[in-house]
A and B are shown apart, each in its own frame.
Chain A
Amino acid sequence: MTKQMNEKELITIEHIEQIIPEDTDYNFYFGPAHSGSGNFGVKLRIDGEKVTSARADPGYLHRGFEKLMEYRVPMQNAVLSDRVCVLEALNWNLVHAEAVDELTGIEVPQRARYIRVLMAELSRLQSHLIWYGVMSLALGFDTGFKMAFGYRDYILDIFELITGGRVYPAGYICPGGVRRDLPDGSEDKIKRVLDQTEEMMQKMKDFDNIVFSKRTRGVGILRTEDAIRLGATGPVLRACGVKTDVRKDDPYEIYNELEFDIPVREEGDAYARCLIRGREMEESIKIIKQVLNRIPQGNIREPAKITPPSRVKIPEGEVYVRNELARGEGCVYMRSVGGREPYRVKIRGPDFLHMIPVLEHLLKGAEIADIPAIYWSLNICPADMDR
């Protein structure tokens, strides 16, 4: 509703209030088809430039894994388990294989355990490289994106050599051991790839002062008591001062025989989370070098031939397995009544807690320009939230 103003009238405050509307609240759907948000939507309520409330809207990638796994035998479920979150497929293979091994009571051979740890740590390295690339892209730094995905390709060449596929290893880590042995000459190739990854990490340190620290310092601070109450695990919790890692507290495979450190920081902001992931990559390279020196000879799978599906039997029982994935704590609860298929499988991914309670808590009160830094510093994967 505007009043007619001619040149002779002075513009007063009452005139301005009649032209500009009073409320500046609006809804903003940062949605699943948005180029800055992955496959996940957040409904934001924004006042001017500040977010007043956020509500997560999951379900874009819900495929019903827990019910799909009730109709297939464990060897087929191993192929299905790498699609829970494709960015760290070998780590999810490992969680599922450990659950079935503990139910059946099979003693996995030592060589298979060392190969499992080797592949899991390589998968953690390439997952952190994806995180670095996507975070740089979201903050506007395109060169970091291209370098990270270029150096990640060398690790994918190793996966192609050992498992037969670059991105989907098709249940390479299966119940009872691993599916194939390491080909000849793979140890030298892995050492060469580790040198190339160290080159990339040196470049990441050089970029540090310019882009990351200015946009991520002091942004998205998560306090310790909030972190445990909201269910954060993994690097998000270690950035708040809690020194915990499932590989040290609840060891599985051969991690209790290896030496590595756990990086911890006190500040709890996005910058601390970024630095912790850089340090975790260094620790992973240390672990891989130790494994390559100590790997024994032997066979690689306990029932050496695959059992036909009509003769498979899982003994009765229930088990809960916890693993340290690149993103946090990943767990599987499996219950069996003595049939061919598991009776109930519950998959708990780290991102179920990071993307709904933690994100809603951190986005409240943030500016729009800080949203990419907060969102991508949590290293989310919508696939293991929705399953």
Chain B
Amino acid sequence: MSMMKTIEVLFETLFSKPMTVKFPYESIEIPEGYRGEHELDIDKCVSCGLCAEICPNRAVEMVELPEKHKEKYPKTYPRLDLRKCCFCGLCQDICPRKCLKLTKNVFLATPDPSAVIKNPMPKGPQ
């Protein structure tokens, strides 16, 4: 009796596709709204500092820009420490001008220790 069941299951699974996805040769699509790396649009930022207040791990710190950009961007802007960040997205939800966003980039492993602190920088050629 159980022999029949075994043969039935054998034929069912012999011709069906395996569940495994062979990463990195194949991959699953990451949906919109995934909480990955941060991106700051510095022209819209008003320096309210709410992202630094709400972060549960104190990973956001408001700093000034280096001398050569201070004329155009005189206030303080958020600097993120990715070692402390837990990628919860509260800074994105509380931002009143919607300039701090979380992208879909999850490939953040790096052997370079200076790359984990993201300083605010203006976009474009400098």
Cβ contacts under 8 Å, A75 to chain B: 54, 90
Q: Does A21 contact B (CB under 8 A)?
A: no
Q: A171-B88, A183-B32 are in contact. Are A308 and B53 (CB under 8 A)?
A: yes
The distance in angstroms between the C-alpha atoms of A171 and B90, with both chains bound, is 9
> What CA separation (Å) do A258 and B55 show in the bound complex?
38
Closest to B19 in A: A150
Instruction: Determine whether B86 belongs to the interface, using a CB cutoff of 8 Å to chain A.
Output: yes
Interface bits B89-114 vs A (CB < 8 Å: 1, else 0): 11001100000001000000000000
A-B contact pairs, 25 of them (CB 8 A): A75-B54, A75-B90, A76-B90, A79-B86, A150-B19, A160-B30, A160-B31, A160-B34, A161-B33, A164-B33, A165-B34, A170-B35, A170-B87, A171-B88, A180-B33, A183-B32, A183-B33, A206-B9, A210-B2, A306-B90, A306-B94, A308-B53, A308-B54, A308-B94, A309-B54
A306-B94, A308-B94 known; A72+B56 contact, CB < 8 A: yes
Interface size (A, Cβ < 8 Å)?
26
Q: Are B53 and A310 in contact (CB under 8 A)?
A: yes
Docked CA distance A153–B20 (Å): 11
Alpha-carbon distance between A176 and B14 when the two chains are bound, in angstroms = 50
Chain A residues with CB under 8 A of B44 = none
Give the total number of A-B pairs whose CB atoms are below 8 A apart: 58
Pick the 4 closest A-B CB pairs, nearest first: A170-B88, A76-B56, A164-B35, A79-B88
User: Within residues 50 to 88 of chain A, which ones have a CB less than 8 A from any CB in chain B?
Assistant: 72, 75-76, 79-80
Whether A344 sits at the interface, judged by CB under 8 Å, is no
The reply to whether B35 and A165 form a contact with Cβ atoms under 8 Å apart is yes
A84–chain B nearest beta-carbon distance, Å: 14
For A79, A164, A306, which residue has the most chain B Cβ atoms within 10 angstroms? A164
Across the two chains, which residue of chain A brings its CB closest to B35?
A164
Q: Give Cα A168 to B89, complex, Å.
A: 12
**Contact between chains at B86 and A164 (CB < 8 Å):** no
A179 at the interface (CB under 8 A from B): yes
**Additional A-B contact list (9), CB under 8 Å, known A160-B34, A170-B35, A183-B32:** A76-B54, A150-B19, A170-B88, A209-B2, A210-B2, A305-B94, A306-B54, A308-B53, A309-B53
